[in-house]
Amino acid sequence: MNFKKYAIVLGAIALCTGFYSCDDDEIEDIDKPADTVITSDFYVLNRGNDGANNASIAYYNATSGMLNDKFYEDANGSGLGDSAEDMLVYGSKMYVSVTSSNRLAVMDMSGKLMKAIEPENEGGEPLRPRYLAADKGKIYMSYFYGHSVAVLDTASLEVEKVIPVGRYPEQIVVSNNKLYVANSGGNDYPNYGKTVSVLDLSSLEVEKEIEVVINPCRLEANNNGDVYVISMGNYGDIPNTLQCIDGKTGAVKTLGNGSRMDLRDGFLYVLYAQWGQEESIHVSKYDALTGELVNDNLVPDINKVSTLSSINVDASGNIYITDAPYTETGSVYVFNKDGKGVSGSPVDSKGYGPNTVWVKGN
């Protein structure tokens, strides 16, 4: 089943999880060169349906062409939880935030749970881990309900400090010994947030706030210390907007539109799927150092994907776009660096709401 809308809001804590569903097209029509195949193993984080407690991790083996949709369950004998939001592989561990279940699951690379961190405030209320970043032996995670960022030591797996930031923080990114935090204000509709907090990682203190378009949710940083921001706007007259924060001056420049993005090897890949702008759906490629547009239609067949959810890129330039229909299990579409669909794509994620792909070896 397809729904002709871009459903940004999926429950009270999913204000920045976006999907666009287009008309029924024959997905078999996607150009798939016979000499291009999926060559990398990857993990898929399936967010699950809100309140259904059916989040999951799937693992795709490119050699066999087989997908294990019970990667976590097989290793632990239990489910992952409710509303998995972000996945990060750092060192020898895998970290997954399961927001509605109020847990950060720390696993070894076989999926075996090493520790579950379930943060609460002094009153016993859940803080809801949301997005993750890593740097110098630390994991940083935004606490959506806690309006803060926590610092986790990767050796002891203990939270060392919790730092207040703006309202309902979403994605975070490390750049030049600073941590940038997107303060969405998402649960305070229509009073969205409009700042990115900048934390000094030496002092672990907020040094400034930078104003951007309302409802900032996504962040990526280039090698020069500049930070790209996607703000979801108000789902009305203020659209999903892509901006760049100058890492030296803090000046903000608007580049165009975007809903999800990934930065890989000097290029920024941007998926734009704005509700009410069906004719404008596209994938753009930017030079991540200059912010210059390289290609504004990188994946010509993008409108063949039913319900656009996320974009990730591997070290070879292959593009992974998740398809997350509301009442059916999702899929991962794989395109090569030229934007052409590859043989073996799409891959059924066998879970609901696939919202990120982590390619092994990235």
pLDDT of residue 274: 87
pTM assigned to the model: 0.92
Rounded Cα distance between 216 and 196, Å, is 7
88's enclosing H/E stretch is strand 84-90
Question: Is residue 5 over pLDDT 90?
Answer: no
pLDDT of residue 20: 53
192 token code pair = 């969205």
Q: What total of structural domains would you count in the chain?
A: 1
Does residue 7 form part of some domain? no
Question: Is residue 34 over pLDDT 50?
Answer: no
Does residue 15 form part of some domain? no
Does residue 112 form part of some domain? yes
Rounded Cα distance between 53 and 101, Å, is 8
Does residue 108 form part of some domain? yes
- Sole residue written with tokens 């039913």: 306
> Which domain CATH number covers 225?
2.130.10.10
pLDDT of residue 295: 98
Does residue 302 form part of some domain? yes
pLDDT of residue 107: 98
* Residues of the domain holding 173: 20-359
Rounded Cα distance between 356 and 320, Å, is 9
Does residue 2 form part of some domain? no
Tens digit of pLDDT for each residue in 297-336? 999 999 889 899 999 999 999 999 999 998 899 999 999 9
| Amino acid, single-letter form, for residue 333 | Y
- Please list the alpha-helical segments (H only) found in the chain: 71-76
Phi, psi of 134 (to 5 degrees): -130, 145
pLDDT of residue 326: 85
